[in-house]
Structure 1
């Protein structure tokens, strides 16, 4: 009996300590045990899982096949997942579907057949693979484009050369305009291939040590006249910005491309915000959020309050010849050129957009090492060690993007808080009205439904005065959110943010 008690205690300790989710079920699929990692992964309490069929953790398509798989294995012994493991999909309590790796083993305890499932969340790995796939696709397109552009340049050299020789040797008055038009078209073709070479990162950049504030200030002075009086340009340049190595001409061209794209998206009038600041990416969460290697960067952000971009348009925005403005003469090369220039400069570019709310492009250039004070090198502004932690307070995370929501939940739990979640302002308000007890609502600003972040915050302040509110936005400033009606001014935590920013903001609210 003593040995059985010790074995039971050992099994319990293993289940409690395991990082991966572990679920024990019988041959009918009824859950007998679920460790804390499994409860966290699927967002259920253990009491909600034990006694239920494992099909509750599967999307419908897989759940329909589960009984057949089990029956086939028991009757034939054939292994499809058991003892092998494979990538499948799971379904959380909120019905969101996510990728996971499932390994199943089985054992006989007396007359009872038990199945032990070990599940590993693949969400981060899948996101990394998707980002790598997009990068590789653009690299492949760039290589192909560079080769084609090179061959076209050779062809156009022959065409232009022969047309110029023909022009020099004399043509009739009737032939002259034809030759002139042919030359102009060939030169336009040469300009097109030169822009393709920029996307392919095969152009000859002339980088120089540059202060982006000076360069962008000069460019924006020109742009104010180009954009017209109905467009307002705002700047937010940090007082201290590290120098970077960029080609000044290409940087000005990139900024003009982004500004003209913004003008077209704003359709007649609007506000453009250009901001520049040092950014240190030194924590796992921000690197994951931006898909950028840790290090010191100077970030140039271009934000508009225009029509925004669909998810498909965002995914393809940097591909050459993809355009949403074909009826207005767009070639689809502007953003491809910006992407190629930034990457060839050793930097990164990210895009955030919401339909009907605007778009934000962020260009990250590696900062040159700088000594800011006598003999002292720059120290990263945010350290992950010793961050203030919560005391078990409950935070309701309100975010419609499932990937961002999962990341936010993980970040907040890592800081010692308990989390709940909602997919919209409407959903969050309904949960609060139904009696959900929380200490703080952490909400995105732009969400589908009747309630945006400001609307939700106003209702929380009015109806649940003991609940604190923290708002977040993917836009670099209130250039977009000023269009939303709100009486009270809220401090916005702007994405992407560091774990230290979140930790100290939460500490300030709870102090």
Structure 2
């Protein structure tokens, strides 16, 4: 083998092994080579990229400038990206824009200039930064709010004290109504500061060891008489449940807030599910999904089939004074109080919502495990989930959320499977019709496009009867998905899930397929 052939073989091996996208182009911007990672990140087939302009991978504004940049560099040698690297945006086949870090190198082959681009997908990094920034923003708002509420309480103390002194010193009949109105208003102000202090995590909680089932049952008994007959409340309480250390009064208030918000979101009628269960977060994947430290928790989920929340509303949902119901008298304090109470209790809140379909809140409280029981328990060594089978199966992952899809790919590859991916049910169906060879389809339930998860599963059952399907959903139950049309039940793995749960479901389905 001569040196040229060796160099070509080495380059091919490097591009194949690289986890980042690598693209080779000429000085006109024509793509000469691309690796599998580039095809995956930009969602193109590799053959569709070769020979095309690299501008196809850029937003229109950047693509319009790119040729000028290249021409300027060739004429002057000035470096703006080459050998420097910078954060830019890329464009996928479906038109979605996503963040990238781009590094460009160049060389000459005979009389031709060659440019090599290495691109790292920053989608997950940006999502993590956004989540951290949101948490830090809420913490900063909480600190500021706590300080304001503290000072405001001092002012109210002086106001209320002076009003009471005037009342006791014999105000006349004309003055008394004014004093009482002022006192009532001051009490409203005091209630406002109390709610601010809850959000700021400076309220005086009185935690006791509690059974969430009892607290929830008592609260829902009151709510059933107030939310109206057109709203159905379902419960799903686990038979075996760890106790938690919480303030029952604040928990009752939080559940009331979530339930009344759900009622407003459902309009004239709908179904609400309140579920309580133990959750063990003991692997990196689930901790990453929920942003919670590993450990034993009790999760209280409240899910509705209402109008859902926009992405902007989800990002700002827990900020005080933010409300989507200003016209109907919303104050923007309900969810802020829920967030502050749960965080002060050592827990965490998750939010999952789809416009037009509904919303699910998850309240995670640390389990109050008896110290003696913990000390006497035999330690169990953590075991990495083993691949359910070892026959080189391929799983098609169907998920519209880029970050969740990337995480799902990582999880399933970690179990030893090969993967294909699709951004929605329509694309997954096209791939199967075009001959994609897979052993199982792992699909989200709620997706944009013509085919949701149920629709995709139904088509697979008819047209690809030997192909197994596992559905997954961010909702706590089928409250939302129950309204979707489907002729047969399909197994649903609820998000967030543990790696061992995923391994078990895949093993059961693939074993059943092999036996069949």
Whether TM exceeds 0.5 here: the answer is yes
Structure 1: distance between partners of 2:179 and 2:444:
59
Q: Is the 8 A contact 2:385 2:499 kept in 1?
A: no
- 1:14 alignment partner in structure 2: 14
Q: Is the 8 A contact 2:277 2:299 kept in 1?
A: yes
2:134 is the counterpart of 1:134? yes
2:213 is the counterpart of 1:213? yes
Structure 1: distance between partners of 2:490 and 2:392:
24
Helix, strand or coil: the match of 2:225?
helix
Give runs of aligned pairs for residues 151-190 of structure 1, distance below 5 A: 151-190=151-190
Distance apart, 1:186 and its partner CA: 0.6
Helix, strand or coil: the match of 2:120?
strand
The farther-off stretch of 74-83 and 115-124 is 115-124
Structure 2: distance between partners of 1:378 and 1:172:
74
Give runs of aligned pairs for residues 215-294 of structure 1, distance below 5 A: 215-294=215-294
- Superposed CA deviations along residues 3-32 of structure 1, whole A, max 9, x for unmatched, are 444444433333333333322222222333
Distance apart, 1:339 and its partner CA: 0.5
2:55 is the counterpart of 1:69? no
Helix, strand or coil: the match of 1:227?
coil
Helix, strand or coil: the match of 2:400?
coil
- Superposed CA deviations along residues 144-172 of structure 1, whole A, max 9, x for unmatched, are 21122112111111111111111111122
Report how many aligned residue pairs link the two structures: 509
Give runs of aligned pairs for residues 72-111 of structure 1, distance below 5 A: 72-111=72-111
- 2:496 alignment partner in structure 1: 496
Structure 1: distance between partners of 2:94 and 2:411:
19
Structure 2: distance between partners of 1:356 and 1:217:
29
Structure 2: distance between partners of 1:390 and 1:94:
34
Distance apart, 1:435 and its partner CA: 5.4
The farther-off stretch of 220-229 and 494-503 is 220-229
- 1:419 alignment partner in structure 2: 420
Structure 1: distance between partners of 2:402 and 2:465:
28
Structure 2: distance between partners of 1:490 and 1:192:
47
5+ residue gaps, structure 1, are none
Root-mean-square deviation (Å): 2.6
Q: What's the TM-score, normalizing by structure 2?
A: 0.90
The farther-off stretch of 140-149 and 401-410 is 401-410
Q: 1:73 to 1:206 in 2, by over 3 A?
A: same
Distance apart, 1:86 and its partner CA: 0.2
Structure 2: distance between partners of 1:379 and 1:145:
44
Q: 1:364 to 1:378 in 2, by over 3 A?
A: farther
Q: Is the 8 A contact 1:412 1:419 kept in 2?
A: no
Structure 2: distance between partners of 1:134 and 1:53:
38
Structure 2: distance between partners of 1:485 and 1:16:
43
- 2:447 alignment partner in structure 1: 447
Distance apart, 1:379 and its partner CA: 5.0
Q: Is the 8 A contact 1:308 1:357 kept in 2?
A: yes
Structure 2: distance between partners of 1:437 and 1:500:
26
Helix, strand or coil: the match of 2:298?
strand
Q: 1:376 to 1:44 in 2, by over 3 A?
A: same
